[in-house]
Amino acid sequence: MNIVVLDAATLAGVDLSPLAQFGMVSTYEHTTAEQVISRIKNANVVISNKVQLNAAHFSQLSALKLICVAATGTNNIDLVAAKAAGIAVTNVAGYSTPSVVQHTFTMLGNLMTNIHRYADDCRHGAWQQSPMFCRLDHSINEIAGKRFVVVGYGNLGQAVANVAKAFGAQVIIAERPNSKEVRRGRMAFEEALKVADIVSIHCPLTPQTENVFNTETLALLPKHAILINTARGGIVEEHALAKALESKQLAAAGVDVLSTEPAQADNPLIQYSGDNLLLTPHTAWASKESIDRLIAGIAENIASYLNGGQTNRVV
């Protein structure tokens, strides 16, 4: 098998040797749209995280049999065109759950205890100048007892909910936005926002969830609420969030994803300078252990394909 990895840089230098058992592996750190065809014209298997592949490519790739998406989302692949061309597509689900859960609570813990502000104070000499043994300049709050609203209750949302319960939070599962019925054990979306101390987003980006957190819905949150988004950037309307943070309509937010990535200089959250926002560059998924699991999942998918199996087959 001739295997080509189009954007190996997204795998953070993790060992790719599990793939070598299937044949020759060629890797490219980054691949532009103009380079795609020349790099995979003889490939049997293509591995791509974010490089887009579509019908125009497939018509020129007679050797290509399998596309392994190095992620859970497959929006970078034209699945209909791939199926028509007889090309199988696989993804890897669940590999990043522990990493995203950890990142979620790292951001939340920072914001609730103001660790980032206290650390900055120490760097600038505030502790050294303190008239007492400690500094209490910024609020410190506990997760225990807080109403912790989970938006998106798949495997990841459930894992976050379990950790929130371990902290002693009161977990509330929000129903889907605009749902006509509220399932047992859930609370209507808008009602959940009204009572939330913490909101953690774990739903996919769909036409129904795009910009679901906007000026109107953010205004439903109590002023002391904290919003965490490690899901997709398009779920939160960024201008609205920046305004809510600036006006203190919302206490704080932790954001790992933006609507356009890499971040653009004119993004309102990039331009926002307040210390009630923690912004990270889409790293919640990317622990070493997470990427190791991802590579193992890709290897499993290739082996399954060669054996006629259906592991994680998308089309």
Considering the candidates 103, 232, 237, 293, report the single residue annotated as catalytic.
232
Question: Per the structure block, which two tokens stand in for 171?
Answer: 């977990």
Considering the candidates 29, 216, 261, 289, report the single residue annotated as catalytic.
261
DSSP bridge pairs for 89: 67
Is residue 258 within 8 Å of residue 283, measured between CB atoms?
no
Answer yes or no: 30 catalytic.
no
What is the C-alpha to C-alpha distance for residues 67 and 61, in angstroms, rounded to an integer?
A: 12
Q: Tell me the residue length of the chain.
A: 315
Q: What is the DSSP-derived secondary structure letter of residue 253?
A: E
Question: Per the structure block, which two tokens stand in for 207?
Answer: 């036409």
Amino acid at 314: V
Query: Checking DSSP bridges between strand 198-201 and strand 88-90, what pairing results, if any?
Result: unpaired
Exposure on the CB side of residue 238, measured as CA atoms within 13 A: 19
| Exposed / middle / buried, residue 5 (Cβ in 10 Å: 0-12, 13-18, 19+) | buried
Amino acid at 255: V
What region does 4 belong to: left with phi over 0, alpha with psi -120 to 50, or beta?
A: beta
Considering the candidates 135, 186, 282, 313, report the single residue annotated as catalytic.
282
Answer yes or no: 232 catalytic.
yes
Nearest to 169 by CA among 109, 222, 115: 109
Q: What is the DSSP-derived secondary structure letter of residue 219?
A: T
DSSP bridge pairs for 279: 255
DSSP bridge pairs for 201: 151, 229
Amino acid at 205: L
Quick check: helix, strand or coil at residue 196?
coil
Answer yes or no: 261 catalytic.
yes
Considering all CA atoms of the chain, what is the largest pairwise distance in Å, rounded to the nearest integer? 74
What is the C-alpha to C-alpha distance for residues 250 and 218, in angstroms, rounded to an integer?
A: 8
- Catalytic positions, written as ranges: 232, 261, 282
